[in-house]
Amino acid sequence: MKNKSIFTAWLLAAALCFVLGGCATNPYTGKSTLALVGRKSLHEESFASYAEVMKAAQSYEETGTRNAMLVQTVSNKLRDAAEKWAAANGNSEYLEDYQWEYHLIRSDEVNAWCMPGGKIVVYTGILPVTKNADGLAAVLGHELAHALLNHGQQRQSAGMLQNIGVAAAQIGVTVAVAQDTKQNTNTAVQSGKAAGDVAALASTLFGTLPYSRSHETEADKIGQTLMIIAGYNGEEAAALWDRMAQLGGSGQSDFFSTHPASEKRAKALRQELPNSRKIAERVIASAR
């Protein structure tokens, strides 16, 4: 009964997506994706959050140095590559509401990120791993891809569906238990709550986390293509994750992780490289 109710809840949640018309086609993948959250409002929230982050990190920002200039150069080339790719697919207007901005922050953290709408931060701690412009392009290509693919929008939309599914599971099982066993109301409500807990766990392990890993893999592929369009060595994308694996980052089993294991990422990128080069050649030829 629990499994049936949970399954029914997810069917109802999926149906809600179509009722609301909450789907959009991405020009970089051609895929239809969840879009229950408006991209404009998401970008506005992102820009406001980014301003707060940069205000707090102002004293740690690195400017005018060789590394700061490298971040600016690589980011600009990748942005140009994204524009060329969108134009080649007849979607130049897709990037109109992106407001690109790039900053280098002094921190030992091995990380970089890009908020929805094109707001980028690179931490100096990742530069020893990227090693060169190609390695940095691999990292930033991946981060830009998250923004270009609207992964933030999709995750918020998926979260909305997840909440609806859990609530529906609780209601469905509460009603079923009350009808089938004629238990008192308190017992039925407790059973419904338990079902909701199970639904939440199941949706995390088999919904949210795999969905996030799917995003990471997708961003790896699109990011690799972006860096090639921008004129960087695509082979460096896999080499970067070889170096990440040596650091131990995301190297364990990826079942309970939102990121694929580094070794898997490197292997997948090498397999995808011929296709990335093919797409890049088409985009570059279209831009001439």
What torsion, rounded to 10 degrees, do the Cα atoms 55, 59, 61, 66 define? Answer: 150
Helices (H), the chain: 2-20, 39-56, 66-88, 127-130, 133-148, 151-181, 185-203, 209-229, 235-247, 262-287
For 123-191, the DSSP string reads: EGGGHHHH-SHHHHHHHHHHHHHHHHTTHHHHHHHHHHHHHHHHHHHHHHHHHHHHHHH---HHHHHHH
Q: How far is 271 from 214, CA to CA, in rounded Å?
A: 16
Annotated active-site residue in 61, 96, 101, 143: 143
Question: Residue 208 gets which letter from DSSP?
Answer: I
Identify whether 281 is a catalytic site residue.
no
Q: Which two tokens stand for residue 84?
A: 């060329």
Residue pair 226/144 in contact by the 8 Å Cβ criterion: yes
Active site residues: 143
